[in-house]
Amino acid sequence: MRGFRDAKLMARTLKAELARTDLDISHSQALELVARQLGFEQWNILAARIAADEEPQADIAIEAPIPIFRIFDVDKAMEFYRDFLGFQVDFEHRFGENFPLYCQVSRGTCVLHLSEHAGDASPGAKAFTWMRGIKALHAELTAKDYRYLKPGIEDAPWGLQMTVTDPFSNRIAFCERV
């Protein structure tokens, strides 16, 4: 069965068949008749629909969000994220000398942005991330004997979870499905 994308071919066929019976119509009249047969008020509306349908649809690919955590002390932040959690610093940015820091830290596919800029985030935020090897991470962190945090693992309905809190009250909940 033909659809609205075939409207021009249908109009040419209609015009040719009517011409065989000595009924001559213009191509634009044939287009208008086909448009009405397909449920459109006029050819221009159908033509717009055809054009919209033929335009390639943009691929939409939403990626994982990157949480922004507010920090107040770069040294304390690096001690926690780099030295304790084992994240690496991917980049650091300042608009000039003696300006606030904005940086990215990551470990595996877990990416975080840390910012000293007042308007970027509020302290006390929380991020949730799925992971594998939570017991090994827990053992690694416990062995570091970080003075300000001794994380534990809890058995949650959705998996094993370990929540860590940075010096600025931001939290990361690491969770492994079981």
Q: Where are the domains of the chain?
A: 4-54, 68-176
Task: Work out the mean pLDDT of the chain and round it to a whole number.
Answer: 90
Q: What is the pLDDT of residue 27?
A: 81
Residue 56, exposed/middle/buried by CB under 10 A (0-12, 13-18, 19+)? exposed
CATH among 3.40.50.12780, 3.10.180.10, 3.40.50.720, 3.10.129.10 for 68-176 = 3.10.180.10
pLDDT tens sequence across 79-138: 999 999 999 999 999 999 999 999 999 999 999 999 999 989 999 999 999 999 999 999
pTM exceeding 0.85: no
Q: What is the CA radius of gyration of the chain?
A: 31
